[in-house]
Every structure is written in structure tokens, then in C-alpha cells.
Amino acid sequence: MESGAVFSGLHRHPTPPSHHLILGHSRCAIKFFPPLFTDKKLFSSHPQSLQLQKQSDLALYRNGNNNHVNSVRVASPASNVTSELADIDWDNLGFGLMPTDYMYMMKCSQGDSFSKGELQRFGKIELSPSAGVLNYGQGLFEGLKAYRKHDGNILLFRPEENAIRLRMGAERMCMPSPTVEQFIEAVRATVLANERWIPPPGKGSLYIRPLLMGSGAVLGLAPAPEYTFLIYVSPVGNYFKEGLAPINLIVETEMHRATPGGTGGVKTIGNYAAVLKAQGTAKANGYSDVLYLDSVHKRYLEEVSSCNVFVVKGNVISTPAIKGTILPGITRKSILDVARSQGFQVEERLVTVDELINADEVFCTGTAVVVSPVGSITYQNERITYGNDGVGRVSQQLYSALTSLQMGLTEDKMGWIVELK
């Protein structure tokens, strides 16, 4: 098979295919390299050991070192394919799971390296009751999006950053992880296999959820003997029902998302279960989400349940520094660079809860929300409002700049966009 035809025929079949798409060693290898970064700092606020590891991972990726990279082949070429979009109401797309056509799976044993994977029909997976992820929470996940352009091209936003963050998290959680190239090639294959589920331009995006988990059975407390890397996707609209409209947050003073020395700085599954109680109470009382404080002094901002927080005062944009308890968000990092390019003064530091009272604007960032302006924050029964509950100027400006870049509407001067076709 010619390499140029490898990803042909990954659209919707009239009936489920009888063969999987195998990503393993074969005669046709596809090398896939997105544009190089202009930003060389690479999460410079991470601990030095993780910083060096990340630089090493990205260097191997960019230099084309494919000693551990999967080749790609199609075991049974697809036929009678169509390119029609899925028959769903694109104008009323929320943020929730919508089962699609294919998911990706790759396994390896503890002490080994991931070496092959496959695209298979989306569906249930089988796990032992004694799987490490079920008993000891040995699991990580990532989140990124694919966008459809008016010319039919499909875009990814900084997928190598997700790959590197997964590897950093895997090191903390004693798990093997795919290489950067394996991660990106798996994402690419999964997106193209589910192309009909990518919303039309301006109607949403295809949310991509990579998972890494200890799938092997283990009873005593120890790393699992086997690991599974899995990717599934779902078309999505806005994360908050308000869309690009102000959300209302409440500051949580008793419960905490993370503690120093814990796993708050990696995207492990346990971080998110820990916020459900406070988040559920907040939503029951009419708030959109919860803003957490540090667990030691209870006065420094950390993050919202699933996104980073920013405070605007004049021309200065401040956000909590990454010190091990806050997730190093890729959208966070991107917004900081975009803000600098637009002339804002950017500060990554300790930000006190008292600074919220005098802020001009507050907004959140994340893969799911992109940029979400905050209309009010309630702290110790006092409600602070911003901009008469409207979308702030800075929030709007940064949202427009970043989403235009992600959707391919403006020139990518940062080298962040990966084109799939």
C-alpha cells in the first residue's frame, strides 16, 4: 500500500468493518512533524527535572528520532466510504459525550515500551476488577480539540504539548507512556477515522480524550503490570451553558483541590473526583463553578475545578504560578503568550484572594472552555461583580485572538497549528 493512501477510507462505513486498523511495524511508515515552536521556554516554571525531561522529549520529536515511533498501516482498506457529516443538530450542540465511530487502543507491560496500537469500533472495554486504575487510581487523561476549516482542512492545536504533559504525568504516577510521535499519530488516526463527527466551521469542535491507565490486575499496592493508552472523541459545543457569557464562581474555603507534594500539577484522574462535592454544592446554589484556594494559607488563588484563573488590573494580567499544585494548562500557556504579543504585562506569581475585590476583570482558561469571562465571584458571603455582568474587554480580545488561531481564521505566526489534511 502506498503511504499516501494510508488514511484513505477512514470515513463512515455502511456497516461496521470486519477488521481493525493496525498501527504497528509495517512496510509503510508515515512521519508526521508539525511546525516548530517559536516559544522555547517550554513550561519553564516546572520543576527542573521535569523541565529537562520535557525538553528532551520535544527535541527527539522535532529531530525526527523515530526509533520508538509506530509505523502505520491499514489491515483492511475501507471501501464505499462517504464524507457526509453525522446527522445531528449542530446548532444545539452541548458539551457531553456523543458516541462516535472509532476509538484507538494501545497496550504495554510494565517495564516495556508502547509499540503498536489499533483503531477499533467505539464501544465498551474490558477490565479486571483488580485493575490498577480501579483500585489505586493509576490513571491520567488529556484533552484537546480538532477544528474543521471552511476549505475542508482539519486542525489540531499544539498536540505535542498534550503528549509531553502526559509523559510528565506518567513519570509522577509510575506509568510508561507513549512517545510524543506515538501520541500525535494516534490522535491523528483517531480524528481522521471520525471525520464525519467534526462539527462544521463555527459550530463547535471534536473533543479528543486520550487516557492512560493501569489496566493490569494488581492486589497489593504497586504499579500495575499492564497499561492501556486509549483515545476516544466526541463532537462538542460550549462547556458552560452560558457560552461566551459571564460565569459566576464561589470561592471554596474549606475543601481543597490539591496539596503541596501531591499530584495537583499532573492531570491524574483523582484530581477531578476531589472537586465533585464542592462543585455539586455550588451548582445547586446557582453558581457555575468553584474557585479553590491554597491548602496551606487559604488565601492564594489556585484554580477552578477544571480550568486556570486570571486576574486583570489595568494592563497587567496575573495568574497563579505553577508550583506543583496547579495544572500547567496548555490554553493557559497559550493565553500568556498571546497576551504578551498584544502588549499586556503578564505576571505568574502568588495571587491573593483579596486581589479579586479590586480586579477589573477575571477570566478562566482551559481546553474545554477556551476563555470564559467571570461575571461575579462570591467570597465569604460577599459578591464581587465585574463589568456590569458583561464580557470584559480583555477577555473578549484574548478569546477572539485564540479561537481565530485555533480555527484557522488568522495566520499562525506562533507555529502552534497542526494540519491533518
Q: Which residues are catalytic?
A: 267
Q: Which of 90, 95, 145, 42 is nearest to 406 (CA)?
A: 145
Cβ neighbours, 10 Å, residue 151: 7
Strand boundaries in 130-214, DSSP class E: 139-141, 144-148, 154-157, 205-214
Q: Residue 397: enclosing H or E segment and its boundaries?
A: helix 393-406
Rounded to 5 degrees, φ, ψ at 372 are -125, 110
CA 94, 99, 103, 107 torsion-angle sign: positive
Pairing between strand 21-23 and 117-121? antiparallel
Cα separation, 259 vs 23, whole angstroms = 39
Q: Which of 346, 334, 315 is nearest to 403 (CA)?
A: 334
Q: Which of 56, 54, 59 is nearest to 161 (CA)?
A: 54
DSSP state of 421: -
Pair 339, 371: CB distance under 8 Å:
no
Cα separation, 168 vs 98, whole angstroms = 29
